[in-house]
Structure 1
Amino acid sequence: MTTADTIATVELGTDGPRVGVQGLGCMGMSEFYGDTDERAARDTLDAALEAGVTLLDTADAYGRGANEEFLAPFVRAHRDEITLATKFALVRTDDPHYRGISNDPAYIRTAVEASLRRLGTDVIDLYYMHRRDPAVPLAESIGALAELVQQGKVKQLGLSEVTGPELREAYAVHPIAALQSEWSLFSRDVEKSAVGAAADLGVTLVPYSPLGRGFLTGAFTDAGEELTEGDYRQRQPRFSGDNARTNAALLEPVRAIAAAHGATAAQVALAWVQQRAEVHGLTVVPIPGTRKRARLLENVAATRLTLTSDELAALEPIAARVAGDRYPDMSSTAAAREE
C-alpha cells in the first residue's frame, strides 16, 4: 500500500492528535484467540503503520502485561508516528478465569508506572479506565488520572464500558477524549445512553470487537465446534450451541450486501460501524484486532466502503435478533448499569 493509499484521519477527542480513521486492537497478538505468531504479528504492525493505522490499542491485562512488552520495540521505533493507548483497572491473578476491578487512586498510580515501564516510553497518549468499579466514586478515579496528565505521564484520558451519565460525570472532572465500548452489528447497547453523551461532549467513540470477535467475518457456521482449544470464545454465549447456529444465520444480509459490493462480510460489518459517525454525529475510530497482514489490509479497505440507506436498513434488525449476551458475566459492562 503506497502513501497515497493510506486511510483518512480524524481528530481524537477535542484538540487531540489526528489518528487513522481505523485503529488496531493488539490484544490477540498475545493471548485469547489460540496460538500466537510473533513474527506474523510484527509484520501486521508494520502493515498497519504503512496503511495509516496509527492508533494502537493494548491494556495491562492483556497477557498480564505481555502485550505491552510485545509492543515496546515497535513503540520505541515509531514513537512519533503512532498514538499509543493502554488501559488499567482489570486485575488478573494466576487463575486464568479471574477478573477483578480496581479504580482506586493508589492502584492507578501504580498501574501507570508499570505500563510505562513495560511499553518503554515516558508518556501514554491515551490512558483508559478499562472497567468501572461503582464502589469507587468516579471523581476520585478521574481526579487521580487528571494528576497523571498534569505530571506529563498521560496525554489524554479515556473510559471503557461506561454509561452516558457516567461519561458526563467523569467529563465534568476532566475532559475525556475517547470512550471505548463494544459496538457492532451484533452489539448496540452502547447506543442507549453513551453514544448520545459522547456526541454532546465531543468524545470519540472507539468501538472494540467491531467484528463481533470474528463472528461477523462469516468464518463460523458452528462456532462451538470450530474454535481451537484455548480460544476464550469457547466460553462466550454467542459462540455456543444453538446460539452460535442462530447467529450464523443472521449474517445472510451481510453476505448479500458484501456480494453486491465485491467486498467481504467483515468489510460490510466494519463499514456499518464506521458510518455510525454520520448517523449519530460523532467521531468513530473502530479498533478491529488481527494478527495477520492480509486481514489488516482487508479491514483497512473497509474505510472506503459506503453502504446505501437501503443496505443500512437491511442490517438494522440484526442486533435485536442476536442470541446470547456479549459475555458470560455482564456485571462489569455498562449495560448492567443502564437504567
Structure 2
Amino acid sequence: MSKSSAATAAGQTSRPLVSAWLYLLCFMIWIMVGIGGYTRETGSGLSIMNWDPIIGALPPMSTAAWNALFAKYQTISQYQILHKGMDLAGFKTLFWPEYIHRLWGRLMGVVLLLPLIVFALTGRLEKRLIPWLLLLFVMGGLQGAIGWFMVSSGFFAGSTAVEPWRLSLHFSAAMVLYVSVLWTALTVRHPTPTAPFEQRGLQRLTMLAILLLFCTMFAGTFVSGTHAISVFDPAKSIGIGMPPPGYPHTSFLSDQATILFNHQALATLTTLALLITATKALRSNAGAPIRDAGLTIACLVLLQFTLGVSALVSKMIDLGVAHQMNAVLLLTACILLLHRLRGATA
C-alpha cells in the first residue's frame, strides 16, 4: 500500500475520533455563548481594559495588581456613571465573569490547534480537511479580535456598555464559526449523503427556517445590547407583541420598544416556520433520523418560546442566558436535520 493510500485509510478509520474532537469544540462554543451572555447581562465586559492574548491569561496575582487594575477601571464612564463608590470586592464580581470568558476563548484555541497539529502529523486527518480546519482556527482568532473591537466601544466617553451593533457582529461571527465546526463534525462522522428521495421540499423548508432563526437570534442581540426588556409594560401595550407608537418610523437600531417588537415579530414567524418544518419531518416517511430531528426541533422551539416569555416577564438574568443557549441548541437541531437531508431530490 502506498503512503498516500495508507494516509487516506488512516484518515477514514479516525473519523469517530476526529468528529468527537469537533463535537467537543461545538460544546465549548455553546458554553461560551452562556458565559458571554452572562458577562453581557451583568455588565462585566468592561472590567478588563486591555487585550493581552498571552499575558492576559493570568489574573492579578497580588493586592497591588488588583488595585492597579481597579484604578484603571475607575477612569472609564461605566464606573463613573453606574458604579461610583464601588469597592474592590465589587469590582472583583465584575472582573471574574469577563476573565473566565476570555480564558475560555483561549482554551478553545488550544483545543482546536493542538489536536489539529497532532492529527495532521499522525495522518489521522484527511489532507483535504487540513486547510479547512486551519481556516476555522483563523476564524476563531478573528473572533477574539472582533470581541476586543466590541469591548473597546464601551470605553468611549459617556458610554456604559458596548455598542449593540458590535455585540451583534461578535455573536453572529460566533454562530458562523459554530455552524462551520458543527457541519464539519457531522460530515466527518457521516461522509455519505443518505437522504431519501422526494425530500427536496423539506430541505428547502428547513433552510428557510434556519435563515429565519438566524435573523431572530441576530435581532435578539440588539434586545440584549440595548436592555430592551426594560421597557416591557403591558399597561402601555409595550412588549406584548404590539407595534410601539410611531412604528415603523422609529429607530430599528436604538429605540428599545421597536427593537423588542422586531425580535418578537421575528420570533413568532420563526416559531411557525420551525413548527411547520418539524411537523413535515414527523409526517414524512424518510426514516427515524429525520423524524427524530423533527421531534427535537418541535420540543426545543416550544422551550425557546417559554424561556423567552419567562425572561421578558421576570427580567431574570439566568433565564435570559438560558434563552440564548437554547437558541443555539435549536439551531443545532435544524442544522442536524438539514445535514441529514443532503442529497434529497424533488
Q: TM-score, normalised by structure 2?
A: 0.27
Instruction: Please identify which structure carries the higher helix content.
Output: 2
Higher strand share: 1
